[in-house]
Chain A
Amino acid sequence: MKGAIDIGWWKLLAGYLLLLIPIVFFRIYRTGLVRPTLTAVGRMTVQLLLVGLYLEYIFRWDNPWLNGLWVLVMTVVSSYTVIRRTGLRLRLFLWAVLGATMISIVLIDFYFLGFVIGLKNIWTARYFIPVTGMLLGNSLKNVIIALDAFYHRIDEEETSYRWQLANGAEHNEALLPFMQQALRKAFNPLIATTAVMGLISLPGMMTGQILGGSNPMTAVKYQILILLVIFSSTILNVWLTIRFSRRVAFDGMLNLRKDIFERAKS
């Protein structure tokens, strides 16, 4: 197996010249996007270089505890990001998101790496870290959408929610239409991308594996599995997050607490 051609540092710099194209256009149309673009690219560069550096060592040492710790750090950081983007209060939701993410990742990793791929040691850095990273990246995006849709819709449609309770609904029953909407909103894009996979886009992981020297069919099989894994870990994660967060989001009379939102709503 032959790896991809390494990119020299000067060549990388040459790659950065491509940035001139968006910058010129942003300038011409006075979009005010030049500075944000430069900041974003700067951040990306620093973050990815750091990750590269970490990963080199983590791969070299390949210590199960260290790998676990690394994934734990990724989970905490991403849970934090999820909540920040939903406009829900961090303090109240962090444990729910963190707990749900950990449980769904561990369950799915065990099944996928341990049983489907058949690794003797699922903590092997080369599999455990990238697969978990993909799971986190993809499922958390959908958790954001679902969590946001769920609580904001209940807030907007408080009348419908209360109307159901006042007409005899149990809590689960009154939440059902909101759960349906949240799941549809979170999964429709994923279903749509899955349906056109390979037609209008070559997925990143598959491309990476091919560049890395894998046989295309192997890359395709991994890609198929990773999508299935994303589906199942996302639904587990969404469901558990909502389940866990319900305990803090509603009061004893099952009213949605208004202080769960970052900026107080009227």
Chain B
Amino acid sequence: MSRIFGQMIRLENIGLQFGHKRIFDGLTALIPDGAKVAVKGESGSGKSSLLRILLGFEPAATGKVYYDDMLLTPATVGRIRSRTAYVPQDLGFTVFRSTRELFYTPFRFKNNRRLMPEPDKVDELFQQFGLPADILERGIKAISGGQKQRLLLAQAVLLGKPVLLLDEPSSALDEANRIKITEYILHLPVTVIAATHDDYWLRQARTIIDLDKLTQTAQL
């Protein structure tokens, strides 16, 4: 499905700065369609920030982000965000009143209406991700952090966007689920960029952006 959109992501000399503190500099990368990229680095190295820069939520100190040849700007950000799915690290989501609301909210956006999944597909994926069948009927405060994370990952997968941006996608998962879900996501035909320090992710992802060294260890 990514072929239809053709989402090559190009980072050009991205630098990040907090106040006067330089976090990283000179990140240039070409992420082809369908690539599986892991962003690693110590905490505070700017992993989550890099994902936010890619989504236009945080300004980079220097550099440019392109999706295909479309430069990320206020004029294009809406179009770009309509082609991404994002799972953040912080899973508060207290603004939603029920688990069902949390799960179905993105499918009700105008941009995503045609992406509403068949109930069978939802059940099937929930099962694969180790989610109880009645999870959507449970209160949002009654589900665990791991369940919430799996729910959001399942949702991101079901949205089927050409670019998946995941912030610490396995931080709240137990061993068995971690491997199963990582495997599943890495075999999707879409571009996946994950900020992570999870060994399994780092071993399996074909490309690593190491913000500590800022050298790419694999051929893109």
Residues of A near any B CB (own CB < 8 A)? 153, 157, 159-170, 173, 177-178, 181, 251-255
Contact = CB atoms under 8 A, between A and B. Distances in A.
A166 B110 contact: no
A235 B82 CA distance: 31
B74 interface: yes
A170 B88 contact: no
Given A166-B81, A181-B95, 16 more contacts: A160-B95, A162-B55, A164-B105, A164-B106, A166-B55, A166-B85, A167-B84, A167-B159, A167-B161, A168-B84, A168-B106, A170-B111, A173-B108, A173-B110, A252-B77, A254-B77
Nearest to A169: B109
B132 interface: no
Contact of A177 (B56, B88, B96, B111): B96
Contact of B56 (A153, A163, A253): A253
Contact of A160 (B84, B96, B161): B96
A253 B95 contact: no
B95 A167 contact: no
B92 A170 contact: no
B93 A160 contact: yes
B134 interface: no
Give the most central of B57, B96, B111: most A CB within 10 Å: B57
Interface residues of B, number: 35
Most chain B C-beta atoms within 10 Å of own C-beta, residue among A159, A178, A252: A159
B199 interface: no
A20 to B, nearest CB: 47
B90 A159 contact: yes
A178 B95 contact: yes
10 contacts: A159-B92, A163-B88, A165-B57, A166-B84, A167-B86, A167-B112, A168-B112, A177-B96, A178-B95, A254-B77
Contacts of A252: 73-74, 77
Contacts of B219: none
Interface string B67-98: 00000011001100111111110111111100
Interface string B177-202: 00000000000000000000000000
B165 interface: yes
Nearest to A165: B81
Given A162-B88, A253-B74, A167 B109 contact: yes
Contacts of A165: 55, 57, 81
Contact of A166 (B58, B86, B92): B86
A168 B82 contact: yes
A162 B77 CA distance: 12
A159 B93 contact: yes
Contacts of B74: 251-253
A167 B88 contact: no
User: 3 tightest A-B contacts by CB?
Assistant: A252-B74, A166-B86, A168-B111
Nearest to B110: A170
Contacts of A253: 56-57, 74, 77
Residue from A163, A254, A255 whose CB has the most chain B CB atoms within 10 Å:
A163
A216 B19 CA distance: 65
A166 B165 contact: yes
Contacts of B161: 167-168
